[in-house]
Structures are given as C-alpha cells and as structure tokens.
Amino acid sequence: MQSQYLCDSHKKSLMTKEVSGFSKLTKSQKIDWLAQHYFQDKEQATQTLVSYWNSDEKLQQLHDEFIENTISNYYLPLGVAPNFLINNKRYTIPMAIEESSVVAAASKAAKFWATRGGFKTEILGTTKVGQVHFTYTGNAKQLQSYFSDIKPVLFSEAASITRNMEKRGGGIKDITLVNKTASISNYYQLHCTFETLDAMGANFINSCLEQFASTFENGFLKDPRFRESGDSLQIIMSILSNYVPDCLVRAEVSCPVKELSEKNIEGAMFAEKFLQAIAIAEHEPYRAVTHNKGIMNGIDAVVLATGNDFRAVEAGVHAYAARTMQYRSLTHAKIEDEIFTFWIEVPLALGTVGGLTKLHPLVRWSMELLQNPSSKELMEIVAVAGLAQNFAAVKSLITTGIQQGHMKMHLMNILNQLEAQPEEKQKTVQYFKTHTVTHSAVVDFVNSLRTA
C-alpha cells in the first residue's frame, strides 16, 4: 500500500509541473529540469541522454539546431541492402529502420530478381498540389467570373517566388477554382498544381499559396462587383497537400512462372498462391493494412535515410490506397502467357535538394551511395524498395510463414534483453539454427546455459 501511495503521489506531483521559458534554457538546464521533475534516478536519466551526444561538438551543434528543445540524439540503425538491379543499373540501397528482418528481406528479394532481369520502373507523373481554402457568400457565377479575371494576376504577382524554379523548368502548372459548397456551406478553394523538380518543394509551394491568397483577397476587396453586392470572402488557410496522386511512380518485376520454383513448391503453385495472396489484400482491408505496412517498411527506411519526410509520404500513400473509397493493396500481380508480373504504383513526393539533404552527414552519405540521384530516380529507387519488401513478405507468408525468418532475425534482440555474454550468444544462435525461435524458448535455453 505504501509503494502504491508513493506512486500515486509521484504521479500527482507531476501533474503540477509547469515551466516558463523552457526554450530559453541551455540544453544542460533543460536536462536538469527534466531529471529533477520526472525521474527517480536523476543521474542515470541525465547520463542516458549525454551518452548519445556526438563527441564532435560541431556535428552535435548541427543536430541540436535541426529542431527545438533538443536534449540528445535518437539513433536508428542505418543498414544497406545490396544487389538491386534497377533499369539495368546496380544499386546498394541505404535503409534507416529498427525492425528486424526488413533489410535482410529486401536484400534477399533484390538478389532473387537480379538474376531475372531486375526491377523496371517508370515515372507516371511529378505533379504536386497545394490549396487556398476560403469561404464566400454570394453568387457562384460572379465568383467564377472574378477568378477568370484575376487568374493571370495570381501568376504574375508570384513571379518573384517562381523565377528561379521556372529557370530550372518547374513552377506553377495551373490554378483552378473549386466549388465545395455541397460539402461545407460557403466553402471554396483554389486548387493549385506545381512542378518542383528535384526539390520536395514544400516551402516553395506554401510561399506561392500565401501569395495567391493575398492577391485573391486584395483583388476581391477592390472589385466593384462585390462592393455593390455586399458579398464577403474570407481566407481560411493556404497549405500544400501531401496527397499527390499525380506524383506517381511504377515499379515492376517479371519472369517465367517456372522460374519461381522454390525448394518445396513448384513455380505454378507458388504463382497461384502469390496471386491469391495479393487478391486478398486488394479486397480485404484488414489484410490490406498489414500488407501495405510491410511495403512501407521498405519505403520509409529509404525515405528516412535520404532525409525526406516519411510522415508526408505515409499520409499520401495510405490516402492513395483508399482512393476507391475502400482501402486496398498498393501492389498487384498477374500471369499472362506463363509470365508472372508483380508491380506497384505509388505516389512519392521526394526531394534530393534542400531540407536535410545537404545538412545531415549521413543523408549526404546515403545520397552519394545512391550515386546522387535526381528526384525522379529517387522515386524509382524508393518504389523498388517497397516492392522488394512486399515480395519477400508475401513469399514468406505463402511458403514457410512469416515468423520463421523474422524470429531468427529477432533472436539477437532477445539475447540483448537478457544481457547475454558473447559465448552465450554464439551457442544460442547455433542452437536455434535448427529449432523454432520464441521468446520463452530463448529464455529457457539461456537459463540452461547459465545453470549448467
């Protein structure tokens, strides 16, 4: 009862902890405050954070300035998956991820397809989207007439923002007025499309949108048609969209069905089961979510390693998977004339300039490893990583099952949790080469070593 009381008392005290001017404190002062107010072992809490500081002070300062209130670095493993053959070009792909078996699975799939022609890719579009959201009370036809008049002005008054992008071949593609009053009363939007080339383009797009909003609103206020009618317009917000269904890449692999033969399953049976597995993910949302999560294991790992925004990519990809009003698989498969084909079409808004691409040393390293790709090439590489990961996962599911390979990769995590010594690790790994890995089985085996 006393320990319960102390625990409840501690929780209650935490609810009262407030701090003023936290962002103005030094990093050490922030850590001291956290340790004092939230941790039982204050020294250990502090040491944990400090142990992850970079010994290179200049590099640590760079990391500190990426975000606000930085107290330490949060590390993820950076691995590589070799043997990718993409459009007849060899790649070793960097992957930043903590999940066991992802890198191994991607590497295995890459090696499998490298001997069967490799991956083929195609960019289907690179259009990105932003919107100015506003309300308007008045005659819709009159608003459309006003938009037609001011549309050229929207382009011209954004010229100072778009000049450099246009020199490189990008810029604003189009601006349209969309009436959304059927969904929300008085709601309209300027739907704007952009080409940002090798830049992800978020800052460029948002700057353009805010200029559009200002020009559109100021023009409205000066227009005599609206002063006379008493119509009103209010800008709600201007922001890019992470839903980019026209910024699309396709990646595929194919081979004769007979080349899909495994040890215990012939090619025709493998292909049939594979197609059924994909069909299930195309029609059953409960399966599709996990199916696509596996794809994102590959995609996110490369997006993160190359300094791109994996949250934006995730949001856009999952919205695309639900574009038919039912959440479905991102990958598809077919057999025609005894040829098995497996492919993915996925929206990827990526950049190879700006953001962290020139700031983060490991991002620069990853880009050089990929031979400094353009944004289109990076789209292709990332899509291939997702397709490879999905092929490996589905292949495991329809043959040996997902746990056999995954748990063998997870074995080292279990051993580290048990603080196993090098000799214990060696003996345990050897034992489980021929035995099923489960957490309890590993615990029992290690305990048997320790009590022998």
Q: Show me where the domains of the chain are located.
A: 2-64, 79-124+249-400, 128-241, 406-451
DSSP one-letter code for 199: B
pLDDT in tens, 261-281: 987 899 999 999 999 999 999
* Average confidence (pLDDT) over 423-427: 85
Q: Which residue has the tokens 């201007």?
A: 238
- The mean of the pLDDT values for the chain is 92
Is residue 96 predicted with pLDDT exceeding 60?
yes
Provide CATH code, domain 128-241: 3.30.70.420
Distance in angstroms (rounded) separating the CA atoms of residues 382 and 371: 14
Which tokens in the block code for residue 94?
């960097």
Q: pTM for this structure?
A: 0.87
Answer yes or no: 293 catalytic.
Answer: yes
First-to-last alpha carbon distance for the chain, in angstroms, is 39
pLDDT of res. 422: 87
Q: Per the residue annotation, which of 32, 64, 99, 157 is the catalytic one?
A: 99
Answer yes or no: 309 catalytic.
Answer: yes
Q: Write out the H or E segment, with its range, that includes residue 123.
A: strand 120-123
pLDDT in tens, 159-203: 999 999 999 999 999 999 999 999 999 999 999 999 999 999 999
Nearest partner of 276 among 332, 330, 324, 318, judged by Cα = 332
* Average confidence (pLDDT) over 119-133: 98
pLDDT of res. 283: 98
Nearest partner of 219 among 144, 149, 136, 285, judged by Cα = 149
pLDDT of res. 267: 96
Secondary structure string (H, E, C) spanning 427-446: HHHHHCCCCCCCHHHHHHHH
Q: Per the residue annotation, which of 258, 293, 334, 358 is the catalytic one?
A: 293
- The answer as to CATH 3.90.770.10 being correct for domain 79-124+249-400 is yes
CB 390 within 8 A of CB 369: no
Q: Per the residue annotation, which of 108, 120, 395, 406 is the catalytic one?
A: 406
Beta pairing partners, 132: 190, 238
Distance in angstroms (rounded) separating the CA atoms of residues 385 and 448: 41
pLDDT confidence bin for 407, thresholds 50/70/90: low
* Average confidence (pLDDT) over 286-306: 98
pLDDT confidence bin for 300, thresholds 50/70/90: very high
Nearest partner of 91 among 356, 377, 327, 440, judged by Cα = 377
Q: Write out the H or E segment, with its range, that includes residue 130.
A: strand 128-137
Instruction: Give percent of the chain with pLDDT exceeding 70.
Output: 94
Length of the chain (residues): 452
Poorest-pLDDT segment among 142-156, 170-184, 333-347, 415-429: 415-429
CA 191 from centroid of its chain's CA atoms: 24
CB 212 within 8 A of CB 190: yes
Identity of residue 191: H
Q: Per the residue annotation, which of 309, 360, 377, 395 is the catalytic one?
A: 309
Q: Which residue has the higher pLDDT, 431 or 165?
A: 165
Q: Write out the H or E segment, with its range, that includes residue 402.
A: helix 402-417
Q: Judge whether 79-124+249-400 and 128-241 match in fold.
A: no
pLDDT confidence bin for 408, thresholds 50/70/90: low
